[in-house]
Chain A
Amino acid sequence: MFLDIIMADLETEVWERLELVTDPELDEPITDMGFVETVKVSSSNKVEVEFRLPTYWCSPNFAFLMAFGIRREVASLPWVRGVTVSLRDHCFGDEVNEGVNSGRAFSEVFALYCDGADLGEVTAKFDAKAFDRRQEVMLLALQERGLPAEDIVTMTLGTFDRIAFAGGEEERQKPRYRALLMSRGLAQGPDDPAFPTWEGQSIGPMDLKAHLARLRGIRINMEFNGALCKGLASSRYKEVEIGPEGPTLVDFIAGRVPTKGRGASAG
């Protein structure tokens, strides 16, 4: 019993760690998207993670990124003695699983499949979209507070840091936006501008509206895709039965996907 509780706690730690792995297209944690299905911790502290994407045809390059993201995050837990990652029912699943469990570096495995090319161009494209989406949340929140365009586009990181956002999407996105500002080197110190473009340009006060119009399109695309992916993930293994009451959807592998952190409550 005592051992069960320990195992459940360890599984919970793994689930929490997996929240740091995002779907690059959607900029959302794979756990929120329902992609991770099973986390198992063995008595020798080896971890197995199974995940499944919404369709058999989801982008293989992103499947690679997510699989290696899972390996990296789980392996970073100090007690973990080994990680096995399994992508199920995917058109490139065998290659992804072989690669991620081989112990080799991502760049090395990935290069095997495209004549040595890397994923730089694609990850840069989706980093830019993630940045735009996070920035839009912050810009809209500041507009909502009644700040004039001039004050928003000239705001420094120091001022931005001092503004407290309570609740909602802006509170969630503030540290995520800041993290990308830092990792991209767009702002380092308190006097640096808080709202440059991804290319490092400043936004003129007159251009804020057009800038926001563009960001809006990016956000709508991401939200739409997120809704589609969640829906497809939920209906992928369902079939219709026509009964006396009309059609109903039956999950033929019901209960297969545990809710996040289920391990803890099971203890």
Chain B
Amino acid sequence: MYKAPNGKEIFVLDGHTHFWDGSPENQKNIHGKQFIDCFYAYHTNLSPPEQLWEKARFEKYTEDDIYRDLFVDGPDDMAIIQSTYLRDFYKDGFSSIERSTSMASRHPERFIVNGAFDPRDGEKALEYIHYMKEEFDIKGVKMYTAEWNGESKGWALNDPDAYRCFELCEKLGIKNIHVHKGPTIIPLNKDAFDVHDVDYAATDFQNLNWIIEHCGLPRLDDFCWIAVQETNVYGGLAVALPFIHARPRYFAEVIAELLFWVGEDKLLFGSDYAIWTPQWLVEKFWNFQIPDDIAQERGVQLTDEIKEKILGLNAARIYDIDVDAKKKTLAGAPVQIAAE
């Protein structure tokens, strides 16, 4: 719950968080080290100085840490935990659904744990989707198209194997597909961050919601063109939002573009925890105004009502969360300061 300066209570559903283990003990090779190092560079580059973490804590944080950072010190009411395996880089997976579910079981009313699968596993991927549905009743999945899998160094959402998986997701009611477009290495003759596969998949699977994390960055312009044509494409604000501190004018330009092309009903707040923590992001976002010149040029505004949608109501809608009922439940289970 974020309490606005005027006393209004704002429901916050953090759409993109992780409970990862990137520690050296879990790293398989240099790629595992470089992966968490890259995340750490995002953290150190864009966090306010007082929010910086030491490397060891960033690599592996505790169940108490995530609870405190999101719900005690942070304003989140709920958080979506994404799963990312990176089996070629990490021994037990980078952030597995089992480990996240175990953590979330301490406060199940506050977490939505999403699954993940790799379409290149063929039949096994289909079996695994069944397993995740039966075992964890997942409502969504996180797709990382840059994941390495043996000889393959990346895949596309419109690959035939992927389509078979999405057909099954649709059948089982796993309707929220979060997509992270990392750099795919092969095929080397294609743009590594290309987002056009989103266009095909969103057109062919109208009943699924396609939430493109980082708004397709570094292909924001291509993403906007796709989102404007597809009613089931959403943008997650992670990575763009932290610019609100370091480079507020760039953030203003990006959010203006997103409001113009994608629209206020299809943008989702995400802290990308533990790269960033939600406390400062939400506070700065609530107090942010798009400078007049940018707002006028684009003909958009960022009102309190729009901010409230982005911070929680939009995600609640696609995850079938009754916000008023949820607020009552959470009021009956206030955050507890964990004994450390």
Contacts and interface: CB of A to CB of B under 8 A. Distances in A.
- A89, A240, A247 interface centre (most CB from chain B within 10 Å): A240
Contacts of B219: 221
A190 B76 CA distance: 61
A114 B189 CA distance: 7
Contacts of A147: none
B103 interface: no
B62 interface: no
Interface in A56-97: 56-62, 64, 89, 91-92
Contacts of A199: none
A92 B224 CA distance: 30
Contacts of A64: 188
Interface string A237-258: 0111110001111000000000
Given A129-B221, A220-B253, A228-B217, 8 more contacts: A57-B182, A59-B191, A61-B190, A91-B34, A113-B186, A114-B186, A216-B257, A223-B253
Given A55-B41, A218-B221, A224-B254, A121 B190 contact: yes
B55 A59 contact: no
A160 B243 CA distance: 37
A221 B221 contact: yes
Interface in A12-46: 25
A224 B54 contact: no
A117 B187 CA distance: 9
B221 A231 contact: no
A262 interface: no
Given A217-B257, A221-B218, A240-B53, A92 B185 contact: yes
A125 B218 CA distance: 14
Interface of B: 31, 34-35, 37-38, 40-42, 44-46, 49-55, 146, 182-183, 185-193, 217-221, 224-225, 239-240, 243, 246-247, 250, 253-254, 257, 261, 297
A224 B188 contact: no
Contacts of A223: 250, 253
Contacts of A25: 218
B224 A217 contact: yes
Contact of A235 (B44, B188, B253): B44
A239 B56 CA distance: 10
Classify chain A's interface size.
35 or more
A232 interface: yes
10 contacts: A61-B192, A122-B191, A218-B221, A220-B221, A228-B239, A232-B38, A238-B41, A239-B55, A240-B44, A240-B55
A36 B189 CA distance: 24
A231 B246 contact: yes
Contacts of A248: 49, 52
A234 interface: yes
Nearest to A126: B191
Nearest to A112: B188
Contacts of B190: 61, 121-122
A172 interface: no
B189 A91 contact: no
Given A56-B37, A232-B42, A235-B41, A221 B220 contact: yes
B221 A241 contact: no
- B40, B41, B247, B254 interface centre (most CB from chain A within 10 Å): B41
A28 to B, nearest CB: 13
Nearest to B39: A55
A217 B261 contact: yes
B294 to A, nearest CB: 10
A234 B44 CA distance: 10
A221 B239 CA distance: 13
A118 interface: yes
B254 A91 contact: no
A231 B45 contact: yes
A48 B125 CA distance: 48
Contacts of B220: 217, 220-221, 224
B247 A227 contact: yes
B188 A114 contact: yes
A224 B50 CA distance: 24
A236 interface: yes
Interface string A112-134: 01100111011001000100000
A91 B257 CA distance: 33
A60 B148 CA distance: 14
B201 to A, nearest CB: 20
A177 interface: no
A225 interface: yes
A244 to B, nearest CB: 14
A122 B224 CA distance: 19
A224 B263 CA distance: 20
